[in-house]
Structure 1
Amino acid sequence: MGAGRPTGEQFEITNGAARVVVTEVGASLRVFEVGGVPYVTTYPETDAPPLSAGLVLAPWPNRVRDGQWSFYGEPQQLELSESPRRVAIHGLTRTIGWQVLERSTEAITLGVLIESQPGWPVPLRTSVRYALDADGGLTVTHTVLNVGDRTTPFGVGVHPYPRAGHAAAYECTLQLAATTNLPVDPERLLPNGPVAPLAGEDFDFREPRELDGMLLDHTYGGCVPEEDGIIRHRLVGPDTGVEIWAEPDFGWVQVYSTTGFPGASSAIAVEPMTCPTNALNSGIDLRELAPGESWAGSWGLRPMS
């Protein structure tokens, strides 16, 4: 562990003018910049990731109601990691150290074992590979392997705060590939209704919309790939923009805007997910892995001119 750092050792990769810094604890994407221009909202290496910035969310993203779910009829109780809302949030890998599996100048792969534990009965081995291409784009690839002896459900998400260069989030426009919304109650941010098609609501971003002053903590689904089979969301500022792309398995996206990110006047999280909040109970888009079976999926960030 890096001395005095809550995120442990810091791992840097570069390709030309592009630079990424990933943390040992939580495998957080702490820095992504090209030519000194930032494309994620960063935080100091001496701090824990504020507001889950850049973290890998596995084996489930977002929240689980009361930390309770049923593993094929067996009641499970997860730690209430967001205790004020009485929920388990963002999986089991955010606060543990990941091991370096492979490393080069342009790429790094980190891995961790999610052990069987109270609330999670089947061990999983998961990894994340960060790779920079020659054009300054970042590709992030996740794998999950069932190393237990029973079939298990799972989900994967990530929590980046993309940034359009030096612009604050509220100076930007946002466009999402999402076509549906999963409504949640404002107090616990848990589903309180069925998935519904977007129909021009204030939080509908099928067309670019200005973020100025908007308060968002919304779960979006039905993300439609473009002709090349890739889902694309876009955050665009006065001088530059960033594309948040994902393979079709990441058919959900959580969007969270805040003025509480340390050192930033405003920031926005655009979080690709394979399933929505409380999916361990609803079953919506949960994936299953048989013993010895694995899954892989990719997303990434790319500067826009």
Structure 2
Amino acid sequence: MSARKNPTGQQLQISDGEHVAVVTEVGANLRSYRVGDRDVITPFDQDELPPASHGAVLVPWPNRIGDGTYEWDGKTYRLPLTEHAPRLTALHGLVCWTRWDVVEHTASSVTLAHDLVPNPGYPWALHSEITYTVSHDGLEVALTTSNESDDDAPYGTGFHPWLSPGGADLDECTLRIDAERHVTIDDRLLPTGTEKADGAWDFTEHRSLKDVALDDAFVGITRNAKGLSWIELTAPDGRTAAVWTDESMDTWQVCTGDGLVGADRTGVAAEPMTCIADAFRTGQRLIRLAPEQEHTVRWGLVLR
């Protein structure tokens, strides 16, 4: 299929030995990442749309904005609703379905750029550049966004990889999350507060996912001596697909995809984010990006 007819545009493969990843021109999505014959993330085919934001880059906000309406510096803005009744939210930012420009493509790395133009719901100009790099250590991602407007812009970002169970049933896998607090939510999946992540929400040690359904955020994240926070999905084959973030992001969103078309328990969405849902309305963890200011985040994936 030609790039012109392909719904996700050019397929940009990068590799280093057994590590092979494919990034799409549309959305700069991470479509696949494998080590040898084992998927690290749940892939989607090049001739299909990402089924449940698989591999998406979330700019200028991750997750949901309730009613698509928010206030910023005394003005009210309204975004198109992309998640319909009963939730009625603006979901996952504004760059998922747009073409990114390929800046550089080498054997093991690819950089793409995107210019977000002002619109009535988000009247700020942002320039984003993302680089994916594979090595024998895994896959690393770095995103830098700068504000090219004359005024401060509200900003958040996140990413949407689905960790792969390696062909196993998710009920046969275990999950571990480096986080000590669980975000409570209403029936629209918008946050209402936080609580200690104990009982059903305690994933600080590996727990079975049998009969466990998640679409939840976790904060109070913990880090190792290198400043990295992790989510690990271990399958019956003994392999662990894991995602990490450095100190640039401090929120995890975790979803098992129950009931989602094309993603019903086919993996675990392990999403590093700078803020929880509804940050544009609550201001919690929301970034105020000044004119010409840059903001950079870094995360990655490994297979153990």
TM-score, length of structure 1 as denominator length = 0.94
Quick check: 117-126 or 260-269, which moved more? 260-269
Give the unaligned 5+ runs of structure 1: none
Give, in whole Å, the separation in 2 of the partners of 1:118 and 1:169.
42
Give, in whole Å, the separation in 1 of the partners of 2:261 and 2:201.
21
Q: Deviations over 1:241-288 (max 9, x none)?
A: 112110122110111112545387632111110100000111111112
User: Where do residues 1-305 of structure 1 align in structure 2 (5 Å cutoff)?
Assistant: 2-84=3-85, 85-135=87-137, 137-186=138-187, 188-191=188-191, 193-198=192-197, 200-239=198-237, 240-259=239-258, 260=260, 262=262, 266-304=266-304
Letter of the structure 2 residue corresponding to residue 64 of structure 1 = I
Give, in whole Å, the separation in 1 of the partners of 2:249 and 2:169.
26
- Secondary structure (helix, strand or coil) at the match of 2:200 reads coil
Structure with higher strand content: 2
Quick check: 259-268 or 126-135, which moved more? 259-268
Asked whether the equivalents of residues 66 and 88 of structure 1 are also in contact (C-alpha less than 8 Å), the reply is: yes
- Secondary structure (helix, strand or coil) at the match of 1:61 reads coil
Give the unaligned 5+ runs of structure 2: none
Letter of the structure 2 residue corresponding to residue 163 of structure 1 = S
Give, in whole Å, the separation in 2 of the partners of 1:26 and 1:258.
21
- Give the 3 Å change call, closer, same or farther, for CA 262–81 of structure 1 in structure 2: closer
Asked whether the equivalents of residues 203 and 216 of structure 1 are also in contact (C-alpha less than 8 Å), the reply is: no
Asked whether the equivalents of residues 27 and 100 of structure 2 are also in contact (C-alpha less than 8 Å), the reply is: yes
- Root-mean-square deviation (CA, aligned residues, Å) is 1.5
Letter of the structure 1 residue corresponding to residue 34 of structure 2 = E
Per-residue deviation at 1:204? 2.0
State, as a whole percentage, how many aligned pairs show the same letter: 35
Per-residue deviation at 1:181? 1.5
Asked whether the equivalents of residues 256 and 269 of structure 2 are also in contact (C-alpha less than 8 Å), the reply is: yes
Asked whether the equivalents of residues 233 and 242 of structure 2 are also in contact (C-alpha less than 8 Å), the reply is: yes
Letter of the structure 2 residue corresponding to residue 34 of structure 1 = V
Letter of the structure 1 residue corresponding to residue 27 of structure 2 = G
Asked whether the equivalents of residues 99 and 112 of structure 1 are also in contact (C-alpha less than 8 Å), the reply is: yes
- Secondary structure (helix, strand or coil) at the match of 2:163 reads coil
Aligned pair count reads: 300
